[in-house]
Chains A and B, each alone.
Chain A
Amino acid sequence: MRLLLMNDHAFHIRGRMIPIRKLLIQLAVFVLVIIWTYSGLEKLLDWNRSWNAFHNQTFPSDLADILSYVVPISELVLALLLVLGNTRWWGLMGSLLLLTVFSTYVGLVWWGAFPRVPCNCAGFMESMGWGAHLVMNLFLLSMAVAVLGIGYGKQVES
């Protein structure tokens, strides 16, 4: 495949121009969809482990009861919003919001703001420490901000 960079704004592949901006947006959305879909489905498929993981966290049991349902459903809803072109902007805004909430909680745990530090012993994050988890969340958050920042407006690119 011959790849030529043309005028700093597009790749030229097999005679077609592929705008860099569009490609970067799609790649960022690709990553976010993978994360939300896998994470949401994993929580629903391994319900017992997910339930226990939420109840092992530092927030009250009543809140854990609610979050056990709300978090995986929200993740899957965000994934669907990102997949559909007409709702992608809302998916990005929702991702920004959810990632901010997650990053704040993970950051507080990592910083030692709570009396105890729960283990990360559930899900595909099992092998990650809280520090690595925070770095990953901040990276995804930065990516969502960057995509919105480079001009992904409400006008959909379908």
Chain B
Amino acid sequence: MNTLIKRLPLLAFVLAAVFAFAFTKPVDPLQPQYGQDDMGLIYDVTNVQRGSGPNEYQCDITSETCLWADIQLTQPLSSNGKFVPGANLVPIN
């Protein structure tokens, strides 16, 4: 029992590492990503970085969907976010 208690931190490290590798699903960098701003304009942000710059976009917390996997906006990619495009981003519609 003393040995088990002494080994608890190592056990925690191994368990956490296993869960991290098992449950982390990396985002596909080629996955199309679309966002819709307050005006209803749709932006293709597939290769656009997030940030505060004019060529970037942000997701602010709300109950809306920030990013979509399709241009028809039927498949949400992330929840709880409002899409906010940078000033230089151009909508596709």
Q: Does A33 contact B (CB under 8 A)?
A: yes
Q: In the complex the two chains form, what is the Cα distance from A118 to B83 in whole Å?
A: 10
B26 touches A46 (CB 8 A): yes
Question: Smallest CB–CB gap between B3 and chain A, Å?
Answer: 11
What residues of B have a CB within 8 angstroms of the CB of A27 in the complex?
8
Which range holds the interface residue count of chain A? 35 or more
B19 touches A120 (CB 8 A): no
Question: Smallest CB–CB gap between A71 and chain B, Å?
Answer: 15
Question: Smallest CB–CB gap between A3 and chain B, Å?
Answer: 11
Q: In the complex the two chains form, what is the Cα distance from A83 to B79 in whole Å?
A: 35
Choose among B11, B58, B60, B81 the residue that contacts A30 (Cβ–Cβ < 8 A): B11
Using known A-B contacts A22-B5, A33-B13, A41-B21, determine if residue A118 contacts B61 with beta carbons closer than 8 Å: yes
Q: Does B75 contact A (CB under 8 A)?
A: no
A56 touches B6 (CB 8 A): no
Q: In the complex the two chains form, what is the Cα distance from A121 to B78 in whole Å?
A: 6
A45 touches B26 (CB 8 A): yes
Nearest opposing residue in chain A for B26, CB measure: A46
Using known A-B contacts A49-B27, A121-B80, determine if residue A23 contacts B5 with beta carbons closer than 8 Å: yes
Show the binding face of B for A, using Cβ within 8 Å.
1-2, 5-6, 8-13, 15-17, 19-21, 24-27, 29, 49-53, 56, 58-62, 66, 78-82, 84
30 A-B pairs within 8 Å (CB atoms) are namely A13-B1, A18-B2, A23-B5, A26-B6, A30-B9, A33-B9, A37-B12, A37-B13, A41-B17, A41-B20, A42-B20, A46-B27, A48-B26, A55-B49, A55-B51, A56-B51, A60-B52, A61-B51, A79-B13, A79-B16, A83-B12, A83-B13, A118-B59, A118-B60, A119-B78, A119-B81, A121-B59, A121-B80, A122-B78, A126-B79
